[in-house]
Amino acid sequence: MAAKSPLINVMERAARKAGRGLVRDFGEVEQLQVSPKGPGDFVSSADLKAETVLKEELGRARPDFGFLMEESGETPGRDDTQRWIVDPLDGTVNFLHGIPHFCISIAVEQISHSAGRARRDVIAGLVYNPLTDESYWADKNQGAYLNDRRMRVSGRRRLEEALISIGLPGLGVDDHEAALARIAALMAKAGGVRRFGCAALDLAFVAAGRYEGYWQENLGPWDLAAGLILVREAGGFVCELGGGDDVLGSGSVIAGNDPIHSALRAILEAEEYAAT
């Protein structure tokens, strides 16, 4: 059985407690579709309730840590070198429509300062699917796990045999044309392309070898932080579109095993997209 660090144990306890509430709320979504109040307000309430539980549980265990949370934003801590990065409900649109594909994402970011610059490093992460009771977790330099089973990225090396997950730009995002051109180029070479609408689970599935690769842009750090360490600790590679390593800052991510990651970059960073 894999030995979980104290940080992972704290994250898992908090995620399971918040997850029980999300499962209860998810069971009400179908009835809310026709309520006068409408489902949008309810989903916001479900988000906020889960975030409150997570903040209370994580804060009780590590009272000096700061927080970066999707709903309530940034809360500085007494310890300016450690903070939680939390998405209480990733896959909100799925949740809203009664689609059983959503999760809780929690990570710990360590911040060090040198020569006037801050270096940020995710040192632990957990993605929890409350409907399947699957807990994907990783400590830095200790490997990645699905519950108690070690995870490895897929061993498939050929893009034509690979299943690639993607994200699509939503309403109000201006790069639809460029994204569609990249997707068309990817569909011409990949074995299959999927869009499931939950970034943290997409990255967890790459770490577990269920997908060979993943690409998306315009994400928040709470969508990405836990998934990044999962993929890396499972033997995969993660970078921004363009090859940079500030994935949390840019919101752009390409992930996969070594050959698939390289193949994805070659397609998605082709010269014809340089001006987009």
Which ranges in the chain belong to alpha helices (H)? 6-26, 29-32, 39-61, 92-96, 176-187, 199-207, 221-233, 247-250, 258-268
Measured at the alpha carbon of residue 207, what is the angle toward residues 204 and 209, in degrees to the nearest 5?
110
pLDDT tens-digit readout, 179-227:
899 999 999 999 999 999 999 999 999 999 999 999 999 999 999 999 9
The average confidence (pLDDT) of the chain is 91
CB 58, CB 11: distance < 8 Å: yes
Using the 8-state DSSP alphabet, how is residue 231 labeled?
Answer: H
pLDDT tens-digit readout, 55-92:
999 999 999 999 999 888 899 999 989 999 999 999 98
Q: Model-level pTM?
A: 0.92
- Rounded CA-CA distance 181/40 in Å is 32
CB 25, CB 41: distance < 8 Å: no
User: What's the gap between Cα 239 and its chain centre?
Assistant: 14
Residues carrying CATH 3.30.540.10, the chain: 6-150
Using the 8-state DSSP alphabet, how is residue 1 labeled?
Answer: -
CB 241, CB 224: distance < 8 Å: no
Report CA-CA distances (Å) from 105 to 4, 11, 34, 172, 223.
Answer: 17, 9, 30, 25, 7
> Is 159-273 CATH 3.40.190.80?
yes
Residues carrying CATH 3.40.190.80, the chain: 159-273
Please tell me which residue, 274 or 236, carries the higher pLDDT value.
Answer: 236
Fold of 6-150: Fructose-1,6-Bisphosphatase; Chain A, domain 1 (3.30.540)
CB 106, CB 84: distance < 8 Å: yes
